Amino acid sequence: MSAKVAALIILLAIAAASPASAQDPIMQVKVTYENASQLHTLQAAGFDMAHPQRDHVDLFLNQSDLAQLQSMGLQYQVIHENITEFYKSRLPVLEDMGGYKTLSEIYTYLDAMIADHGDIMSDKISIGQSIEGRDIWAVKISDNPGLDEDEPELLFTGVTHAREVITPEVLFYTMDYLTDNYGSLAEVDGIVNNREIWFVMVVNPDGYYYNELIAPDGGGMWRKNRRDNLDGTFGVDLNRNFGYMWGYDNVGSTPVTSRETYRGTGPFSEPETQTMRDFIISRDFSIIVYYHSYSNLILWPWWYDYLLCDDDDIFRALGDSMAYYNGYEPSPAWDMYLANGVSLDWAYGEQEVKDKNFEFCIEVGGNSDGFWPKLSRVPQLVSENLPVNLFLCRAANLGGEGCCEVMGDYNHDGRFDILDIDDFIRCELNNMTCPEVCFEAVDVSGATAGVPDGSLDILDIDYLIGYLLRQDYPSLPECP
């Protein structure tokens, strides 16, 4: 082989390995439509889209996507010619990742937190590896973190999609709150002492790292993992690769490898989804939260079709309470758009190898935040989700027995659970009197801080759950 041919081969090899998206800017395009079937057509084309609105949706397109859109004859307007450049332009220029944490900074921060709070944090545990061999780390916050205690368990996750950089910040803020206030706030003590709270900061470390490579100053738009699809394209959408209703249709995911919602060659074909599957099966999570961005939404199953799940009333009771705190819009996930092979549907739908898990996807941030919010927005975005996470920690005793002796007279099945809470809400909304006696009992106990105005509302209900977790009030007073 001549040196010239060898050099050419090396050049070709570099070209094949280099990121297509690094040379091919992603633009943000607003498409206007007149009816649902036009939106359906856009979805079926497999475009990368944000939350559809009544008459328009934002798409993220490269040049060949744009050509395809143009052939569809819909009205559109280019909002940003190069969305990465736009995001970058509003982030600090001199900081790595525009001031967001790099992958190694995420783990440095986590290690420091563990070093400071080893009394209530486990070591970080590798629960599996990505396709490029990076560890996927989990950590637990609880009292006696080295023991597997018989306490309700929750799981919070971030960075399933690589570009959703606000999601680990949301987790860190809650973790800092729990660890910094343990021993000084009764509410935090109640949660940490009575729950096992697991965190997986980064489900998709390869994708996150890849954004560092292609956009070291921030604004990277890589979404999928880094699977080599062996056809010149890379990446599987991890949130289309879970094994429940995987590939149900081509509207909610796509078999086209180049697309952002490519579902992979089979259910759980990817090591990252296998890792999450095996971890979830190995534990007993009552509530799971996958943080995503963006759209200000709280989503629950189903996602694969326009159907309500059997426990929609429980999801809605929880979702309404979460929305009370962060102001997002709660709904079954299909209300955003259809998707299949998603973590939500598997967590809830798979009930043979494990119990059903109540999983939510929370989409953090609004349209103006996008995937890379201005740094000045971070404090708001992370703090608005802290009370959501604390509420879920309290509510994780779904179907638990904590207060059945007290509430047993009032609920419908002898167990106080989230269904009863929802009943209380309904009674109040319908101006019925059935639950008032018990809440008066709470009121007269002297522990009235959370029941300030005599009328039953979601604050009081949340307070009641919190009350049961407090060490200084081990039980509610007897109802008359």
Q: Which residues contact Zn ion (rule: CB under 5 A)?
A: 161, 292
Residue 222 CB, nearest distance to Zn ion (Å)? Answer: 12
> Given the complex with Zn ion, which of 161 and 263 has the nearer CB atom?
161
Check residue 377 and report its DSSP letter. G
Question: Which residue among 270, 363, 384, 428 is the active-site one?
Answer: 363
Q: Which is nearer to Zn ion, 124 or 292 (CB)?
A: 292
Is 363 annotated as catalytic? Answer: yes
Q: Burial, 392: exposed, middle or buried (Cβ in 10 Å; 0-12, 13-18, 19+)?
A: buried
Contact in structure between 280 and 374 (CB atoms under 8 Å): no
- Please report, as a single letter, which amino acid is at residue 255: P
- Tell me the CB-side half-sphere exposure of residue 372, using CA atoms within 13 A: 27
3-state SS assignment for residue 67: helix
**Position closest to Zn ion via CB:** 292
| Virtual torsion, Cα 170, 171, 177, 183, nearest 10 deg | 170
CB of 219 to Zn ion, least distance (A): 16
Min CB(402)–Zn ion separation in Å: 34
- Nearer to Zn ion among residue 165 and residue 407 (C-beta): 165
CA distances from 242 to 7, 136, 137, 190, 276 (A): 42, 17, 19, 34, 9
Which residue, 167 or 389, is less far from Zn ion as judged by CB? 167
Q: Least CB distance from residue 244 to Zn ion, whole Å?
A: 18
Among 127, 122, 170, 130, CA closest to 148: 122
Q: State the minimum distance, in angstroms, from the CB of residue 167 to Zn ion.
A: 8
Cis peptide before 294 (omega within 30 of 0): yes
Query: Closest CB to Zn ion among 261 and 411?
Result: 261
* Residue 254 β-bridge partners: 262
Q: Please say which residue, 52 or 145, places its beta carbon nearer to Zn ion.
A: 52
Q: Is 434 left (phi over 0), alpha (psi -120 to 50) or beta?
A: alpha
Longest dimension (CA), the chain: 95
CA distances in angstroms from 103 to 62, 96, 127, 321, listed in the order given: 26, 11, 17, 33
Q: Which is nearer to Zn ion, 103 or 191 (CB)?
A: 103
The pair phi, psi for residue 128, each rounded to 5°, is 160, -175
The distance of closest approach from Cβ of residue 267 to Zn ion in the complex, given in angstroms and rounded to an integer, is: 19
- Lateral strand order in the sheet of 56-61: 48-49, 56-61, 27-32, 75-80
The catalytic residues are 363
